[in-house]
Structure 1
Amino acid sequence: MATVNEQLQSASIGHAVDLQHLSNAEVRKVIKLLNSVDADLRARLIDAIERLGADSYTAKHLNAVLASVLELNKSIYASIGKVMAESVFDVGQYEVEYQGALFARVIPGQVLVEVQLNRVNLAQVREIALSRPFQGRLLKEWMGDLEAGRAVKIRDGIRIGMIEGQTTDQIVRRIMGTRAEGYADGLIERSRRDLESVVRTAISHTAQGAREAYYQQNDDLIDEVRWLSTLDNKTSAPCRLRDRLVYTNDIRHLPVGHKVPWLSGPGKLHWCCRSTSMPIIKSYEALRLSRGLPEGTRASMDGQVPQSTNYGDWIKSQSAARQDQVLGPARGKLLRDGGLDLDQFYNDKGKLLTLDQLREQDAAAFARAGL
């Protein structure tokens, strides 16, 4: 039977995967919201450019005729900011509830009779979500920066177009992009990528902050904290270095048995950080629990740091249903029956290969999997 700490490690890896899926959904939601004003933005740009006129073009006149465009830009980012504030608060609240439910499920009931689980209150969650900076700024400040950055791109696109003598249609295409390229060739495409980075980082920052708050609220039960990194082709070098390292369970997070600093911590170390953490529960001896505990309970509460398990090992140990949920049904079958390893699903830049690309790379794997 797996020990408490082994169960917590497996659950923490799986939970990190689920949080990535949540991030994906949040990104789709806010990008859809940003894109919802594209038609209106295009119409206002055309009107502004035509009113600007090549003969009367000045910086002052440009700002005047762009007022409607910039108002729309400001309005949509304000809406996105409200949605994101609600989302990160919900993430923080869910995280502390998840940790409480996980501890209650994994730690034997006989232990919880003697060691009480402490909760993190909603005021703490709100402070973590909205009042702690990530990558140097608060969420609302990042939203302001994104809005201002897109406004600059729009102005620059018009200025360049005017200088080059482009038509209204050419200027708008420069700014918005073209349908043939999926609008990825427009100047404001970078705004979408920047927004995605902020969304993913805000979620991982909040989730990890809530996780740490729960661990520290229960420091009488938790001995230390272990860093867990998602080891695949996209894992950053700093996270690879820290994977499986152990730190003290307090605000200092001092290294235990090594010299690699915690810095901002997993999920917060860099933009779009996917690392997480797991708690190391104290042994039943360290907790000074009663000697009347059943032998199986004492064995499960050994206090040992579990043997390392990376993401690839973890996904292979999961049920077929869980593999399909994480990877998709086709990739799940390729993992189980096609003989492919997890890293073969990615190219050398860490981008997930399409099924067509995988089939071209290894048609035999598809045959073995019956696909």
Structure 2
Amino acid sequence: MSREERYHEELETRIEKHGVKLKKLFSKANKSIVQEITDLYARFAESGEELVSLIYNAARLDLIMTSIKTILHTLRMEEEQQLRITWAEEYKLSLFHHLYFLEQDAQVEVRLPQINTGMVIAALERPWKGRHFSKRIRMRTDLLAAAMEDVITQGATQGWGVTRTAKEITKRTSESWSSAQRLARTELNRAAAQGQTMAYQANSDIVSEKEFCATLDKRTSSECRKLDGKRYPLDYDTADNPGREGERIPNHPNCRSYWRPVLKSKVLEKLERQRAYRIDQERGYTSARTFKEWADKKGLAA
């Protein structure tokens, strides 16, 4: 297994951890919404009025939906904030790890690119599939609000009790969490791919191209399988050279593809000759058994 493959296995673990955090956010929002529904049923029970009258009173329906939308707005903001933080962390983690991989493979000191918050934000803000991830989150929470209004209306007209209505609300929330997890997986793979690209571009003296690598198994999509092994310029899928739809990483939701560097053969031959004369230390190669050891020697906060 290559270092890049192992990195993406570890990325999947980080994605799952992010999903656990997401689930807590969605569970908290669902609990608040179910409480709103419970209170609604209690108010109608006290008044002796039929719940079905709710759908014939726009003001009442708007009132409960305003409360639900407020809860979902908070959920959306918290989800986006968490994803932004995790995206930036993954970008830098990928950048540093793939610099380490390059140095260990070529056994020559790599160039460490200067990065700042603005650069990371610029990479994060670039749209995928024509939309920024914050817009995709907003669209999903809007759909969730509409689905919950449908549940409340259906529950009122069909005479559901509070237990049945709460169960249906929880089902819709769970479906939205699954969608949020899928979005996170896609975005964090994009962060890793952008970090790889930055590492390769900074070392164009030893890297000639980057190669598309699909994770080949029964779940591999047909489009990624066709692209496996195809090579691209180092600046491909950046602001200067935008990627083509259907040929990007990620290539689709839940995509598990990644880049692999193509090292320049003439450079490697030259390095081998230099090592034969025992001058590799002059080139600054940092021998390290682990990424952490390498990062410590480089003075990187990894």
Q: Which of 128, 133, 140 is the equivalent residue of 1:134?
A: 128
Corresponding residue for residue 249 of structure 2: 267
Q: Is the 8 A contact 1:108 1:297 kept in 2?
A: no
Which amino acid in structure 2 is aligned with residue 212 of structure 1? T
Q: Is the 8 A contact 2:26 2:75 kept in 1?
A: yes
Corresponding residue for residue 173 of structure 1: 167
Q: Which of 222, 231, 239 is the equivalent residue of 2:224?
A: 239
In 1, distance between residues paired with 2:279 and 2:184?
A: 41
Which ranges of structure 1 fall in alignment gaps of 5 or more residues? 1-8, 177-185, 254-260, 299-371
Whether 2:16 is the aligned partner of 1:17: answer no
Q: How many residues align?
A: 268
In 2, distance between residues paired with 1:292 and 1:70?
A: 66
Quote how far apart the aligned CAs of 1:286 are.
8.0
In 2, distance between residues paired with 1:287 and 1:124?
A: 34
Which ranges of structure 2 fall in alignment gaps of 5 or more residues? 45-50, 281-302
Whether 2:195 is the aligned partner of 1:190: answer no
Q: CA distance change for structure 1 residues 287 and 126 in 2, over 3 Å: closer, same or farther?
A: farther
Q: Is the 8 A contact 1:229 1:276 kept in 2?
A: yes
Q: Which of 115, 118, 122 is the equivalent residue of 1:121?
A: 115
Q: What do you get for the CA RMSD once the two structures are aligned?
A: 2.8
Q: CA distance change for structure 1 residues 94 and 56 in 2, over 3 Å: closer, same or farther?
A: closer
Q: Is the 8 A contact 1:227 1:276 kept in 2?
A: yes
Which amino acid in structure 2 is aligned with residue 69 of structure 1? I
Corresponding residue for residue 55 of structure 1: 53
Which amino acid in structure 2 is aligned with residue 47 of structure 1? D
Corresponding residue for residue 297 of structure 2: none
Which amino acid in structure 2 is aligned with residue 29 of structure 1? K
Q: Is the 8 A contact 1:221 1:287 kept in 2?
A: no
**Structure 1 counterpart SS, 2:262:** strand
TM-score (normalizing by structure 2): 0.79
Considering fraction of residues, name the structure with more helix: 2
Q: Is the 8 A contact 2:34 2:169 kept in 1?
A: no
In 2, distance between residues paired with 1:56 and 1:252?
A: 51
The higher-RCO structure (CA 8 Å, 6+ apart) is 2
Q: CA distance change for structure 1 residues 208 and 293 in 2, over 3 Å: closer, same or farther?
A: same
Quote how far apart the aligned CAs of 1:199 are.
0.8
Corresponding residue for residue 25 of structure 2: 33
Runs of 4+ that moved beyond 4 A:
49-52, 285-291, 295-298
1:226-305 to 2 correspondences below 5 Å: 226-251=211-236, 263=245, 265-285=247-267, 291-294=273-276
Corresponding residue for residue 210 of structure 1: 195
Quote how far apart the aligned CAs of 1:48 are.
3.1
Quote how far apart the aligned CAs of 1:277 are.
0.8
In 2, distance between residues paired with 1:36 and 1:204?
A: 27
Corresponding residue for residue 100 of structure 1: 99
In 2, distance between residues paired with 1:297 and 1:155?
A: 72
Percent same amino acid at aligned positions? 18
Cα deviations across residues 212-234 of structure 1 (Å, max 9, x unaligned)? 12222222221111111111111
Cα deviations across residues 259-309 of structure 1 (Å, max 9, x unaligned)? xx96454531100100001001102358866954428999xxxxxxxxxxx
1:272-351 to 2 correspondences below 5 Å: 272-285=254-267, 291-294=273-276
Q: Is the 8 A contact 1:51 1:65 kept in 2?
A: no
Corresponding residue for residue 82 of structure 1: 81
In 2, distance between residues paired with 1:290 and 1:39?
A: 63
Which amino acid in structure 1 is aligned with residue 264 of structure 2? K
**Structure 2 counterpart SS, 1:67:** helix
In 2, distance between residues paired with 1:290 and 1:169?
A: 72
Quote how far apart the aligned CAs of 1:153 are.
1.2
In 2, distance between residues paired with 1:106 and 1:134?
A: 31
Corresponding residue for residue 146 of structure 2: 152
Q: Is the 8 A contact 1:216 1:249 kept in 2?
A: yes
In 2, distance between residues paired with 1:127 and 1:73?
A: 27
In 1, distance between residues paired with 2:234 and 2:179?
A: 33
